[in-house]
Each structure stands twice: as structure tokens, then as C-alpha cells.
Amino acid sequence: MDKIKVVIAGCGGRMGGALLEGILQSGDLTLHAALEHASSTQLGKDAGSACGVKITADVENALQGADVLIDFTRPEGTMHHLGICVKLGVTMVIGTTGFSAQQKAQLGAAAQHIGIVFAPNMSVGVNLTFKLLEMASKVLSHGYDIEIIEAHHRHKVDAPSGTALGMGEVIAKTLGRDLAECAVYGREGVTGERDPSTIGFATVRGGDIVGDHTVLFAGIGERIEITHKASSRATFALGALRAARFLQNKAAGMYDMQDVLGLK
């Protein structure tokens, strides 16, 4: 059986390194190409572990003959890669966060032509947590205040995290609410009593925290906390590689990790 030919975008970053390690340790995946931005000092260097693949900024050439692109970069980079993947018929696994509504619409349009797995978090554990939150929200729909607390390393540029927002979306949808209308992203000064229909977010940034997320359901006389803590980026990489395998022979469409894990 032929190996799945994978291209890594942002291969010089922390996630890129974890993805590369996962590919090299697998028996069914091969690194087809490694991408970095045009101003990267890593261009022309070996992608790592003496794998023989040189880092390039030539996206179209890198994607020629590839099966799937795994992209954990920035929205502007992902959107550039998206058009070329559609042109060449290369599927995508997208873990990038911070997209605008317009950019998400463009992803949806592209999914009419290629298979895309798009998820704010590729961790198997986090996606199981999404399912647990759906179940909890149904049971705790009345009399419980909902707060989402997340913590990440000092280098993360968007807040709240895509995963925290994804948790909020799952809860809001289950409760029949619109997250855009019920989310509260910051509190300061005299805020008045808490509106019970809101979903609160709190953000922590510091050190080398890989990713901690807790959803608090606070009722009268009890609190229920559902927490996921990541200690290594390997968990996200392994989930992304699982998504890459899932896309093989799949019809064009927009998928998420719930599809990949069979949780729907």
C-alpha cells in the first residue's frame, strides 16, 4: 500500500516539529514537502532528522503530487494555501485559529471541491471533551452559570483560544443560544450581577503552557468542572495525522474531529 504523501506548512515551528516527528515514526505516512514563509531563515535547510526534504517557500511546487497539506499557521497563510490546494486537488487538515467570518466562509466554499478537516483543536482528548460538554450542557441547562477558563504559552497571539471558542460554540448550540450574543470576554469595574444567559471567558498567557482548558458549571451548592490539560504538542500532531488518514478516499466536504473520531 502506498504511503500517504504529507506536506507540512510552518514546518519550522513547534507544531511543525511535532508533526514531522509523528510522520517519521509512522509506517503509513511520508513527508512529501516542508513549507515555511518566504522570509524564514530556515529555507533550504533539511526539515529535520536528516529526512532529506528541504524547506521551501514555493507552495505550488511543494504541493505538486501531494495527498494532503497539514496547516497550523496563521489565517493569511492558510488562505493562500487554500486556493492552491483547491487548484491541485490536495486535501487539507487545518488547525489554524483566528479566522474571520469571511475567511470561514471561504473555507466552506473550498470544501465543495476538496476534503477539509477543520478543527480548532486536533487533540483526541479535547474532541472527546467537546462531546462531554454537549452532554453536560443538556443536563445542566438551568441553574448553572457557565465559565470557560483557558491558559496558553506567552507566544500565543490570539485570545480566547480557538479551542475555548469551540467549547463555547458547542455549549451555546446545545442550549439554543448564539455565542456571538451571549459571550462575555472580559469583566472590569462595576459590572452588575451576572446575566445567567451568558457564557464567560477568561484567558491566561504565560511561560510555556501548552494548553489548559476548563469549563465550569457553577450551580447553587455544587460546581462541575470539565478540564483538559495538554502537556505536549504531540497530542495535537497525532490527532492531525489521524485526520490526514481519515481524508483518504473521502468525498469533498467540510469535516471536523468529531467526524474523524466517529463521535457524531
Residue 202 makes CB contacts below 8 A (sequence gap 6+) with 147, 148, 149, 150
Would you call 213 a catalytic residue per the annotation?
no
Query: How far is residue 160's CA from residue 8's CA, in Å, rounded to a whole number?
Result: 25
Neighbours of 169 (CB within 10 A): 18
Distances (CA, A) of 169 to 30, 116, 175, 182: 35, 20, 10, 11
Would you call 156 a catalytic residue per the annotation?
yes
Distances (CA, A) of 186 to 127, 149, 203: 26, 12, 9
Q: How many residues does the chain have?
A: 264
DSSP 162-220: HHHHHHHHHHHHHHT--HHHHEE----S---SPPTT-EEEEEEE-TT--EEEEEEEE-S
**Beta carbons of 12 and 42 less than 8 angstroms apart:** yes
Nearest to 114 by CA among 12, 249, 258: 249
Query: How far is residue 247's CA from residue 120's CA, in Å, rounded to a whole number?
Result: 17
Tell me the three cell numbers of residue 250.
473521502
* Annotated catalytic residue within 156, 213, 229, 250: 156
* Annotated catalytic residue within 32, 152, 213, 228: 152
Residue 242 makes CB contacts below 8 A (sequence gap 6+) with 122, 124, 260, 261
Enzyme catalytic residues: 152, 156
